Amino acid sequence: MKTITKTLISISALSLLLAGCGDAKKADKSAEKPTTIEEIQKVKGKPARVAKAGIVKLTDVRAFSGTIEGSQQTKATAKLGDPIAKVNVRVGSKVKKDQVLAEFVFTGDNTAYQQAQANIAMQEKSLARLKEVQAKGGVSQQDVEQLETQINVAKMQMETARRATLVLAPSSGTITEAKFKVGEVPGVGGAMFTIANLDKVILKLNVTSSEIGFFKKGAKATIELNGEKLVGEVSLIPLAADPITRFFPVEVTFKNKGQKLLPGMYLTTKIDAREVTGVTVPVEAIVYSNGVNSVWIVDNEGKAKRKIVQLGVQTKTDIQIKDGLSEGDVVMVEGQNRMNDGDKVLIVE
């Protein structure tokens, strides 16, 4: 009995010893395993999403703002400094060339038309009598022709006087502006109506000296208006700046079906200024700090490295790197803000 008891005690002691050794081995293994984020990142690397820098053609799109004008835009001006008696059109009216837009009140100062009428009537009676005398051989044909010439000149003067009492449309088109009402006095030379062709409109841009070089005749231009994209093109690039404003008045022409673009609208257009080809990365790769643009790359050893870059043309998704990167460089597009130079990088999909 004593022998059996001693044997059981020995087996129990051995079991406890073996169990203790097993626990020690487990403890050693758990001590070797990384348990914190920092330890895990040190072993496996800091996670980051990446993209490769490639050679891509980008369109340099630039935004400019200006005012819409009708194409072939003209102004009807007053030739008399008298009150307006009648206005025959309003904004939106379609008119033909030489159509009467408004009439002036007849006053003692604008009787030239009536005087010309009376003068012509008198000369025509004289011509009739002269022809009777010529028929009897009293005057020569030259005398008759001279009086006829005088009458023709008088008729032209009468027409000039008549037109002065009226405001006539200088061209066909649509009335886009009417400045005066009945009874008002516009003054000699005052612009009373603006007439324009609205089938096509012009967006006039004031462009600086540093930007005029980006424009090319025929370049595509777009306007977004009420959710609709309207497409036009650069139609005029001046060779000289305005001497007063020092801006270059560039014109962009748009077809205006449905007359959605109206004179006076102040709108922004995006111009396809130029195309460039170069090393390009996603815009998410750029890190801006303390006035410096940089990207983080993954080097051949799988470690993070910061590189300062010079930027070029940018689109919504991509940006040109003019200096600082090479084609094929692996750049980080997510996770780079947690990196330090030399950190091991874990590339994730």
Task: Tell me, yes or no, whether 85 and 156 share the same domain.
Answer: yes
- Token digits for 304? 């993070």
| Domain of residue 297, CATH code | 2.40.420.20
Task: Tell me, yes or no, whether 207 and 147 share the same domain.
Answer: no
Average confidence score pLDDT of the chain: 84
Task: Tell me, yes or no, whether 99 and 158 share the same domain.
Answer: yes
- Plot region of 192 (φ>0 → left; ψ -120 to 50 → alpha; else → beta): alpha
Which residue did the predictor score with more confidence, 237 or 115? 237
Q: Which of 275, 307, 338 is the last residue of a domain?
A: 275
Segment among 144-153, 267-276, 280-289, 318-327 with least mean pLDDT: 144-153
DSSP state of 239: S
pLDDT band at 269 (very low <50, low <70, confident <90, very high): very high
Q: What is the pTM of this model?
A: 0.57
Task: Tell me, yes or no, whether 270 and 281 share the same domain.
Answer: no
Instruction: Find out whether 323 and 310 touch, Cβ atoms under 8 Å.
Output: yes
Which residue did the predictor score with more confidence, 338 or 36? 338
Mean pLDDT of 2-28: 47
Segment among 49-63, 79-93, 99-113, 191-205 with least mean pLDDT: 99-113
| Domain of residue 210, CATH code | 2.40.30.170
Task: Tell me, yes or no, whether 89 and 164 share the same domain.
Answer: yes
Residue 285 within a domain: yes
Residue 3 within a domain: no
Q: Which of 251, 275, 299 is the last residue of a domain?
A: 275
Task: Tell me, yes or no, whether 81 and 143 share the same domain.
Answer: yes
Q: What is the largest CA-CA distance in the chain?
A: 184
Q: Which is nearest to 102 in space by CA: 88, 82, 90, 113?
A: 88
Task: Tell me, yes or no, whether 232 and 141 share the same domain.
Answer: no
Reply yes or no on whether the pLDDT at 34 is more than 70. no
Domain count, the chain: 3
Reply yes or no on whether the pLDDT at 247 is more than 50. yes
Residue 132 within a domain: yes
Instruction: Find out whether 50 and 333 touch, Cβ atoms under 8 Å.
Output: yes
Distance in angstroms (rounded) separating the CA atoms of residues 46 and 39: 10
pLDDT band at 203 (very low <50, low <70, confident <90, very high): very high
Task: Tell me, yes or no, whether 86 and 109 share the same domain.
Answer: yes
Q: Which of 229, 245, 275 is the last residue of a domain?
A: 275
Task: Tell me, yes or no, whether 253 and 311 share the same domain.
Answer: no
Domain extent for 330: 43-59+277-347
So what's the pLDDT on residue 106? 66
Residue 8 within a domain: no
Percent of the chain predicted with pLDDT > 70: 85
Mean pLDDT of 312-319: 91
